[in-house]
Structure 1
Protein backbone atom coordinates (compact mmCIF):
# COMPACT_ATOMS: atom_id res chain seq x y z
CA UNK A 1 0.00 0.00 0.00
CA UNK A 2 1.29 3.44 -0.92
CA UNK A 3 0.94 6.44 1.32
CA UNK A 4 1.44 9.54 -0.84
CA UNK A 5 0.63 13.07 0.28
CA UNK A 6 1.26 16.35 -1.49
CA UNK A 7 1.70 19.75 0.12
CA UNK A 8 1.50 23.25 -1.31
CA UNK A 9 0.23 21.90 -4.61
CA UNK A 10 -0.62 23.97 -7.67
CA UNK A 11 -1.74 22.88 -11.12
CA UNK A 12 1.94 22.57 -12.12
CA UNK A 13 3.65 21.00 -9.12
CA UNK A 14 3.75 20.22 -5.43
CA UNK A 15 6.40 21.87 -3.28
CA UNK A 16 6.52 18.71 -1.16
CA UNK A 17 5.62 15.12 -1.94
CA UNK A 18 5.78 12.59 0.88
CA UNK A 19 5.78 8.91 -0.02
CA UNK A 20 5.76 6.69 3.05
CA UNK A 21 8.79 8.03 4.95
CA UNK A 22 10.53 9.69 1.98
CA UNK A 23 10.14 13.44 1.41
CA UNK A 24 10.80 15.06 -1.97
CA UNK A 25 11.11 18.82 -2.29
CA UNK A 26 10.71 20.63 -5.58
CA UNK A 27 13.53 22.91 -6.65
CA UNK A 28 13.98 25.87 -4.32
CA UNK A 29 15.38 29.25 -5.32
CA UNK A 30 15.90 32.52 -3.51
CA UNK A 31 13.01 34.96 -3.13
CA UNK A 32 15.26 37.93 -3.93
CA UNK A 33 17.21 37.00 -7.02
CA UNK A 34 18.89 40.41 -7.16
CA UNK A 35 21.22 39.35 -4.32
CA UNK A 36 24.67 37.80 -4.69
CA UNK A 37 25.25 34.04 -4.45
CA UNK A 38 25.73 34.05 -0.65
CA UNK A 39 22.41 35.67 0.25
CA UNK A 40 20.60 33.70 -2.48
CA UNK A 41 21.98 30.46 -1.02
CA UNK A 42 21.02 31.46 2.54
CA UNK A 43 17.46 32.32 1.49
CA UNK A 44 17.10 29.16 -0.57
CA UNK A 45 18.27 26.97 2.34
CA UNK A 46 15.88 28.74 4.75
CA UNK A 47 13.07 27.74 2.40
CA UNK A 48 14.33 24.14 2.46
CA UNK A 49 14.25 24.24 6.28
CA UNK A 50 10.65 25.46 6.26
CA UNK A 51 9.48 22.83 3.78
CA UNK A 52 11.26 20.02 5.61
CA UNK A 53 9.60 21.12 8.85
CA UNK A 54 6.21 21.23 7.12
CA UNK A 55 6.76 17.66 5.92
CA UNK A 56 7.93 16.33 9.29
CA UNK A 57 11.67 16.34 8.78
CA UNK A 58 14.76 18.52 9.12
CA UNK A 59 18.22 18.95 7.61
CA UNK A 60 19.67 16.12 9.73
CA UNK A 61 17.45 13.74 7.75
CA UNK A 62 18.48 14.82 4.25
CA UNK A 63 19.36 11.88 2.05
CA UNK A 64 20.27 13.65 -1.17
CA UNK A 65 20.70 17.17 -2.51
CA UNK A 66 21.19 18.33 -6.08
CA UNK A 67 22.47 21.87 -6.41
CA UNK A 68 22.32 23.80 -9.67
CA UNK A 69 24.61 26.79 -10.16
CA UNK A 70 24.26 29.26 -13.01
CA UNK A 71 28.05 29.60 -13.04
CA UNK A 72 30.64 27.33 -11.38
CA UNK A 73 32.61 30.45 -10.43
CA UNK A 74 30.13 30.67 -7.52
CA UNK A 75 30.94 27.14 -6.28
CA UNK A 76 33.22 28.22 -3.39
CA UNK A 77 30.89 30.98 -2.19
CA UNK A 78 27.87 28.68 -2.29
CA UNK A 79 29.81 25.96 -0.46
CA UNK A 80 30.75 28.42 2.28
CA UNK A 81 27.06 28.93 3.09
CA UNK A 82 26.23 25.22 2.57
CA UNK A 83 29.02 24.05 4.88
CA UNK A 84 27.74 26.28 7.70
CA UNK A 85 24.15 25.11 7.15
CA UNK A 86 24.63 21.32 7.07
CA UNK A 87 24.94 19.89 10.59
CA UNK A 88 28.28 18.24 11.21
CA UNK A 89 28.05 14.51 10.56
CA UNK A 90 24.79 14.79 8.58
CA UNK A 91 25.96 15.66 5.06
CA UNK A 92 23.66 14.12 2.42
CA UNK A 93 24.74 12.55 -0.83
CA UNK A 94 25.18 15.56 -3.10
CA UNK A 95 25.68 16.60 -6.68
CA UNK A 96 26.42 20.12 -7.90
CA UNK A 97 26.18 21.02 -11.56
CA UNK A 98 26.28 24.12 -13.71
CA UNK A 99 22.92 24.68 -15.36
CA UNK A 100 20.92 27.19 -17.32
CA UNK A 101 18.38 28.54 -14.86
CA UNK A 102 14.67 29.23 -15.43
CA UNK A 103 15.40 32.95 -15.05
CA UNK A 104 18.75 34.62 -15.76
CA UNK A 105 18.82 36.41 -12.38
CA UNK A 106 18.77 33.13 -10.43
CA UNK A 107 22.22 31.99 -9.36
CA UNK A 108 21.41 28.79 -7.44
CA UNK A 109 18.67 26.19 -7.04
CA UNK A 110 18.43 23.06 -4.92
CA UNK A 111 16.34 19.90 -4.94
CA UNK A 112 16.28 17.78 -1.77
CA UNK A 113 15.19 14.28 -0.78
CA UNK A 114 14.90 13.57 2.94
CA UNK A 115 13.59 10.95 5.33
CA UNK A 116 10.76 11.78 7.69
CA UNK A 117 11.62 12.06 11.37
CA UNK A 118 10.28 9.26 13.51
CA UNK A 119 9.80 11.70 16.40
CA UNK A 120 9.71 15.49 16.64
CA UNK A 121 13.26 16.87 16.73
Structure 2
Protein backbone atom coordinates (compact mmCIF):
# COMPACT_ATOMS: atom_id res chain seq x y z
CA UNK A 1 0.00 0.00 0.00
CA UNK A 2 1.27 3.50 -0.85
CA UNK A 3 2.12 5.88 1.94
CA UNK A 4 0.16 9.10 2.32
CA UNK A 5 2.37 12.20 2.54
CA UNK A 6 0.94 15.15 4.43
CA UNK A 7 2.25 18.72 4.41
CA UNK A 8 1.46 20.49 7.67
CA UNK A 9 -0.51 23.69 7.49
CA UNK A 10 -0.95 26.61 9.87
CA UNK A 11 -4.35 25.52 11.20
CA UNK A 12 -5.35 22.75 13.58
CA UNK A 13 -7.28 19.85 12.10
CA UNK A 14 -6.20 20.22 8.48
CA UNK A 15 -3.09 20.07 6.32
CA UNK A 16 -1.96 22.27 3.44
CA UNK A 17 -1.10 19.33 1.22
CA UNK A 18 -1.66 15.62 0.79
CA UNK A 19 0.01 13.28 -1.68
CA UNK A 20 -1.03 9.73 -2.51
CA UNK A 21 -0.70 7.31 -5.40
CA UNK A 22 0.98 9.73 -7.81
CA UNK A 23 -1.32 12.68 -7.08
CA UNK A 24 -0.98 15.73 -4.84
CA UNK A 25 -3.59 18.11 -3.46
CA UNK A 26 -2.67 21.52 -2.05
CA UNK A 27 -4.50 24.51 -0.60
CA UNK A 28 -3.14 27.91 0.39
CA UNK A 29 -4.10 31.42 1.40
CA UNK A 30 -2.06 34.59 1.63
CA UNK A 31 1.02 34.82 3.83
CA UNK A 32 1.03 38.66 3.81
CA UNK A 33 -1.21 41.21 5.45
CA UNK A 34 -2.67 43.25 2.62
CA UNK A 35 -6.08 43.88 1.08
CA UNK A 36 -4.57 43.95 -2.42
CA UNK A 37 -5.89 40.95 -4.38
CA UNK A 38 -2.87 40.84 -6.72
CA UNK A 39 -0.46 40.73 -3.76
CA UNK A 40 -2.57 38.17 -1.89
CA UNK A 41 -2.69 35.99 -5.00
CA UNK A 42 1.08 36.22 -5.53
CA UNK A 43 1.69 35.31 -1.88
CA UNK A 44 -0.76 32.42 -2.07
CA UNK A 45 0.88 31.08 -5.22
CA UNK A 46 4.30 31.28 -3.57
CA UNK A 47 2.91 29.09 -0.79
CA UNK A 48 1.47 26.68 -3.38
CA UNK A 49 5.00 26.42 -4.83
CA UNK A 50 6.35 25.49 -1.38
CA UNK A 51 3.67 22.88 -0.74
CA UNK A 52 4.10 21.29 -4.17
CA UNK A 53 7.88 21.16 -3.65
CA UNK A 54 7.39 19.37 -0.31
CA UNK A 55 5.37 16.76 -2.20
CA UNK A 56 8.02 16.42 -4.90
CA UNK A 57 6.25 18.22 -7.74
CA UNK A 58 5.83 21.73 -9.14
CA UNK A 59 3.40 24.06 -10.89
CA UNK A 60 4.16 22.58 -14.33
CA UNK A 61 2.40 19.39 -13.18
CA UNK A 62 -0.82 21.02 -11.92
CA UNK A 63 -3.85 19.36 -13.51
CA UNK A 64 -6.61 21.44 -11.93
CA UNK A 65 -6.85 24.70 -9.98
CA UNK A 66 -9.81 26.29 -8.24
CA UNK A 67 -9.39 29.87 -7.11
CA UNK A 68 -11.79 31.33 -4.58
CA UNK A 69 -12.14 35.13 -4.36
CA UNK A 70 -14.36 37.17 -2.07
CA UNK A 71 -15.31 39.58 -4.87
CA UNK A 72 -15.51 38.41 -8.48
CA UNK A 73 -14.94 42.03 -9.56
CA UNK A 74 -11.29 41.52 -8.47
CA UNK A 75 -10.79 38.58 -10.86
CA UNK A 76 -8.66 40.68 -13.24
CA UNK A 77 -6.22 41.50 -10.41
CA UNK A 78 -6.05 37.82 -9.48
CA UNK A 79 -5.61 36.81 -13.14
CA UNK A 80 -2.66 39.17 -13.54
CA UNK A 81 -0.80 37.49 -10.64
CA UNK A 82 -1.83 34.03 -11.87
CA UNK A 83 -0.57 34.65 -15.43
CA UNK A 84 2.74 36.06 -14.14
CA UNK A 85 3.17 32.91 -12.02
CA UNK A 86 1.98 30.19 -14.40
CA UNK A 87 4.04 31.45 -17.36
CA UNK A 88 3.58 31.57 -21.11
CA UNK A 89 3.80 27.87 -22.03
CA UNK A 90 0.28 26.47 -22.63
CA UNK A 91 1.66 22.98 -21.91
CA UNK A 92 1.91 24.07 -18.26
CA UNK A 93 -1.53 25.65 -17.98
CA UNK A 94 -3.97 23.60 -15.89
CA UNK A 95 -7.72 23.53 -16.17
CA UNK A 96 -8.83 26.36 -13.87
CA UNK A 97 -11.98 27.84 -12.35
CA UNK A 98 -12.60 30.99 -10.31
CA UNK A 99 -15.43 31.11 -7.79
CA UNK A 100 -16.76 33.95 -5.62
CA UNK A 101 -17.27 32.94 -1.99
CA UNK A 102 -16.83 34.04 1.61
CA UNK A 103 -13.39 33.46 3.19
CA UNK A 104 -11.83 33.88 6.62
CA UNK A 105 -11.28 37.44 7.83
CA UNK A 106 -8.49 39.21 5.95
CA UNK A 107 -8.33 36.61 3.21
CA UNK A 108 -9.54 37.62 -0.24
CA UNK A 109 -8.05 34.68 -2.18
CA UNK A 110 -7.75 30.93 -1.54
CA UNK A 111 -6.30 28.50 -4.08
CA UNK A 112 -6.74 24.73 -4.32
CA UNK A 113 -4.71 22.67 -6.81
CA UNK A 114 -4.41 19.04 -7.85
CA UNK A 115 -1.07 18.00 -9.35
CA UNK A 116 0.59 14.93 -10.75
CA UNK A 117 3.65 13.90 -8.76
Counterpart position of 1:32 = 32
Equivalent positions of 1:1-121 (< 5 A) are: 1-8=1-8, 11-25=12-26, 27-87=27-87, 88-89=89-90, 90-103=92-105, 105-116=106-117
CA distance in 1, matches of 2:5, 2:50: 17
Q: Which runs of 5+ in 1 are unaligned?
A: 117-121
Counterpart position of 1:119 = none
Runs of 4+ in 1 over 3 A off after TM superposition: none
- Rate the CA distance shift 1:24–1:36 in 2: closer, same or farther, 3 A: same
Q: What's the TM-score once normalised by structure 1's chain length?
A: 0.86
Q: Which runs of 5+ in 2 are unaligned?
A: none
Encode CA deviations 1:58-98: one digit per residue, 9 max, x unaligned.
00000111100000110011101111111322111111100
Q: How many residues align?
A: 114
Helix, strand or coil at the partner of 1:34: coil
The CA deviation at 1:33 is 3.4
